[in-house]
Structure 1
Amino acid sequence: MKIPGLSLELQRLLAPVPTWHARITLADWQVAALAVREAGGRLLALWGTTSAPGVAVCAAYVTADGVVWLELPLPGEQTSYPDLVPVFPAAARMQRTVADLTGLRAAGAADQRLWLNHGAWPADYFPLRHATEAGQDFPDAQLLDYAFVRVEGDGVHEIAVGPVHAGVIEPGHFRFSVVGEKVLRLEQRLGYTHKGIEQRMTQLPPLQAYRLAGRVSGDSTVAYAWAYGMALEAAAACDISSRASHLRALMLERERIANHLGDLGALGNDAAFAFGLSQFSRLREDWLRLSHVVFGHRLMMDCVVPGGVAGDIDGAHIDRLNRQCDVVEREVQTLRAVYDEHAGVQDRFMGTGSVSPALAAQLGLTGLAGRASAQAWDLRCDHPGPPYERLQVKMATQRSGDVAARVAVRFDEVFESLRLIREILADLPAGPVRQVLALPDHASRGAGWVEGWRGEIFVALELDGAAGQHRIRRCHCHDPSWQNWPVLEHAIIGNIVPDFPLINKSFNLSYSGHDL
């Protein structure tokens, strides 16, 4: 990859390799971002670090050849770095989060409002730079008024929804500017489920922190635990067994199907088709119950561990898993035909909440929602690791970018995941399911990158092994919802307010994985 104006060192960094890490200078920070964009790459994650030997801001980019992890150390007392929003709009909220947690700010950024700090701690307090005790109160903290963007004009009014919602749902505030029922603008306010995960990570032993990683977003526990395990295994220069990688993939595909079944039912319900909800809920419940029987937990939490998996499966388990795949495939095929032929459902789905391929590319829409808008990215196809490199995953894509397209991608992915599960079970290698990890007695780092059911889960891990005292110096867990939440604001424009629950569910983004 040769980009005019890019230093020879950065040219080398963008060479065909799976993962690179390097420290760069202020002068190259925006240059590298531009080079990635011009080469068709995208921003994967952006985070700050305040651990020794100094403060830095990091960015991970996806190129055709893999992940480029660039670290920008900030000299002396400097706390600012060049703004990446003009290159990658998805960086905006990530940069605001870096400012809240570390005090490092993007110079010249148009939006400098607080994001995660809702007034729970003082404006001059930065959780990743100052020690915090569990349950610590800040008497000087004050609730903050958030400056929502106002839309002016005849007949324009605002509808405030949340952060508390009906039913069992995480908190998020949505401010609609509307004329009649037509939405002119939506602005989100998230961060209500901020839990201090990144600071807590530094307080846990590296071999135990996978349990917290698997709880960043509970519906993606397998993907997060695998990404953390991958990062730790890379830092320890340890390869897991072929059997362990197959069992991880088996669980990951079961996690994907469980979430798709739940969403397909909920989407039917949001279109006033309760039959769909009842049928898909039944299938999902049966799916989760068998996961509990085979793996010991309905969501398979704590089943992916450093070095492999927590337990093995036997021939009886394989038979039950295969039989369930046959049942689910038959029933989902029938239900898809029902959805496709139901005029009322299709009237609600088609043309609703559209995101054009051009807008999706500009804003960095990723994962399932991205593939519904012609963004053909799927790690299982683009950068397949074991065992996906031999499974030949067929990517599900659509172009219309509406609710109907996101539903179609879910159906297609259910059938493909069922095929993958059968292949994994038919050719499950022999061997151990867990390797013992020997952590190095020196500083090391690793990255984990897994295609979860929503999209790419990324974990950047830095370890300090000085004097044999192994600890986590920094662990950043990134959910694809960071990229996709802002796109939801665009998807609702021009639609009516009552369609928002349907559009929102068609994305089904994570609050917890976003708020950290």
Structure 2
Amino acid sequence: MYFGEDPLFGLLRRIGKPVAGHRPWPRYATTAGGWRTMIEALGGNGWSLLGLWAEPGTVHAAIREDMAGDLAVVSLDCPDGTFPSLSAARPGAIRLERAIQDLFGLTAERLTDARPWLDHDRWGVRRPLSDKPAAPMPNPPPYTFLPVEGEGLHQVPVGPVHAGIIEPGHFRFTCNGETVVRLEEQLGWVHKGIEGLMRGKPVEDAAKLAARVSGDSTVAYSLAFAQAVESALGVAVPPRAVWLRALMAELERTANHLGDIGAVCNDAAFAFMLAELSRLRELVARTADACFGHRLMMDRVVPGGVAVDISEDGPARLLELVAELRRRFPPLVAIYENKASLQDRTVGTGVVSGSLVNRFGAGGHVGRASGRGLDARRTPSYAPYEDLEFEVPVRTEGDVNARVWIRICEVEQSLGLVEQIVKRMPGAPRNEKGERPLPRVPVEGPGGEGMALVESFRGEILVWVRVNPDGTIDRCHPRDPSWFQWPLLEAAIEGNIVADFPLCNKSFNCSYSGHDL
């Protein structure tokens, strides 16, 4: 692959040496000085931090030059257990650096917030993924929330257990009357040890773990993991499998957006929209079950292809689904747009500025609602989206209403994509027995490193993987879009009233499970 003389690869050639066997984008090993030069570049406009993760003695950063869309990984050995912090240039790195400290024992120099993040002193071990795990602290102190000073302030603790059937997360509100002065989150309550569980697993078993990082994004996570493994091993997937994967991804996107639009309206006390949009989401789930044998399409995307082909009547069912949603969805959109009580709650509520979205590198509906129009299906792109026609909706208001409208527009685009895929997908050849062979190839190779960037309904999912020659996973790091979105929820609620928090929170709909790994 030729990368040309663009800013990113010019920088990488100056600060490091390429590491062989990393695909499809290069990985460069650098020094502490080169790492600091990379941090300076990240501090400028037009650069993104895509991910930050570690393994014993080494830290890795995935970076992107947004204009050209070029990606690379930069690696730094940390013999003394420290590395220069990226947080001054990219504040979205703070929580990732705290997680690295908890899991691997590597410390970011000059990290502005060194409190534990994922480790709640309940694991029975500290630094579990390091070469030398330590015993737990005998008398761990309670988590220290940031101090707030001022007259008339009071705190409202919420969670980690909530009234609804949702995952746990703690929110500490500091308020002046009803107005929120500061919101501080404490997450990590559903840490599952995904990275540690994947080590030594055969690719097929690790794929099932990837599919369960965040269940509402099971297709997107499965696709990202599969693409990363296939890149690492140089495996070419059958064309029909590529199109089937995209079909499942768009069904997943549609179902989640329909549910979220209804849930936002419900939090604005308009339950009618939740009921009607839940019916449409159920229609998508039932169609997915009829086409692929699972309502969430879990474990249907696998390394090497797909685990099932679409049912014989699947294409016809999907076209019927598109027609039905195009008939029933627009009237509900009109109700949302013209209902004064809804507009009063969503317009101007929970605003996130474009500058903050860019500094944190937030994507998905959160980023696009505040003017950051990046979409991994377009840049860097992956098959078959370069052959499909669709738009990436962008708004600039950055409020709850804008995030709802991004979802509305994405539903409309996904319906068009489903229609295109059904009509253009390669046919399924039959063997001499009249059977359709499964579009899947063996996942074999000498080992290697791979990375993938896939657009989920929340935004970009990054998966980095190293595969051993025997077909087992040496290291794998999945990065959920929520890592760069959760901090912005704290900014969105500031200056709003406490009663608007559920509305703001649902308009983000960040993943607890995907974040907590």
TM-score interval, normalised by the smaller of the two chains: over 0.9
Any unmatched runs of 5+ in structure 2? 1-5, 429-436
Q: Which residue of 2 aligns with 1:24?
A: 30
Q: Which residue of 2 aligns with 1:511?
A: 512
Q: Structure 1: how far apart are the matches of 2:12 and 2:195?
A: 33
Give CA-to-partner distance per residue, 1:360-398, whole Å, 9 cap, x none. 212322211100000010011222211000113200111
Q: Which residue of 2 aligns with 1:190?
A: 187
CA pair 8-19 structure 1, distance change in 2 beyond 3 A: closer
Q: Which residue of 2 aligns with 1:117?
A: 119
Q: Structure 2: how far apart are the matches of 1:228 and 1:503?
A: 31
Number of matched residues?
498
Whether the 8 Å contact between 1:18 and 1:66 is mirrored in structure 2 is: no
Q: Structure 1: how far apart are the matches of 2:235 and 2:225?
A: 13
Shift of 1:317: 1.2
Q: 1:494 corresponds to which letter in structure 2?
A: G
- SS of the aligned residue for 1:184 comes to strand
Q: 2:29 corresponds to which letter in structure 1?
A: R
Shift of 1:167: 1.6
CA pair 249-101 structure 1, distance change in 2 beyond 3 A: same
Say which of 59, 62, 71 aligns to 1:60.
62
CA pair 474-12 structure 1, distance change in 2 beyond 3 A: closer
Q: Structure 2: how far apart are the matches of 1:221 and 1:255?
A: 8
Q: Structure 1: how far apart are the matches of 2:263 and 2:92?
A: 28
Q: 1:35 corresponds to which letter in structure 2?
A: A
Shift of 1:7: 6.5
Q: Structure 2: how far apart are the matches of 1:350 and 1:448?
A: 36
Whether the 8 Å contact between 1:44 and 1:59 is mirrored in structure 2 is: yes
Q: 2:88 corresponds to which letter in structure 1?
A: P
Whether the 8 Å contact between 1:381 and 1:392 is mirrored in structure 2 is: no
Q: Which residue of 2 aligns with 1:84?
A: 86
Range that drifts further, 427-436 or 332-341: 427-436
Give CA-to-partner distance per residue, 1:116-165, whole Å, 9 cap, x none. 11011367x21112599xxxx97765554111012111101111000000
TM-score by length of 1: 0.93
Whether the 8 Å contact between 2:187 and 2:516 is mirrored in structure 1 is: yes
Please give the root-mean-square deviation of Cα atoms over the aligned residues, in Å.
2.1
Structure 1 residue 100 and structure 2 residue 102: aligned? yes
Q: Which residue of 1 aligns with 2:224?
A: 227
Structure 1 residue 241 and structure 2 residue 238: aligned? yes
Q: Which residue of 2 aligns with 1:454?
A: 458
CA pair 12-463 structure 1, distance change in 2 beyond 3 A: closer
Q: Which residue of 1 aligns with 2:471?
A: 470
Q: Structure 2: how far apart are the matches of 1:232 and 1:222?
A: 15
CA pair 3-366 structure 1, distance change in 2 beyond 3 A: closer
Matches within 5 A, 1:337-356: 337-356=334-353
Whether the 8 Å contact between 1:177 and 1:185 is mirrored in structure 2 is: yes
Q: Structure 1: how far apart are the matches of 2:328 and 2:178?
A: 37
Give CA-to-partner distance per residue, 1:316-352, whole Å, 9 cap, x none. 2111111111111221111000000000000000000
Q: Which residue of 2 aligns with 1:358?
A: 355
CA pair 304-5 structure 1, distance change in 2 beyond 3 A: closer
Any unmatched runs of 5+ in structure 1? none
Q: 2:95 corresponds to which letter in structure 1?
A: R
Q: Which residue of 1 aligns with 2:440?
A: 435
Say which of 289, 301, 311 aligns to 2:308.
311
Q: Structure 2: how far apart are the matches of 1:281 and 1:2?
A: 47
Whether the 8 Å contact between 1:42 and 1:364 is mirrored in structure 2 is: yes
Range that drifts further, 202-211 or 237-246: 202-211
Q: 1:105 corresponds to which letter in structure 2?
A: T
- SS of the aligned residue for 2:257 comes to helix
Overall identity of the aligned pairs, in %: 45
Shift of 1:6: 4.5
Range that drifts further, 141-150 or 245-254: 141-150
Q: Structure 1: how far apart are the matches of 2:38 and 2:344?
A: 45
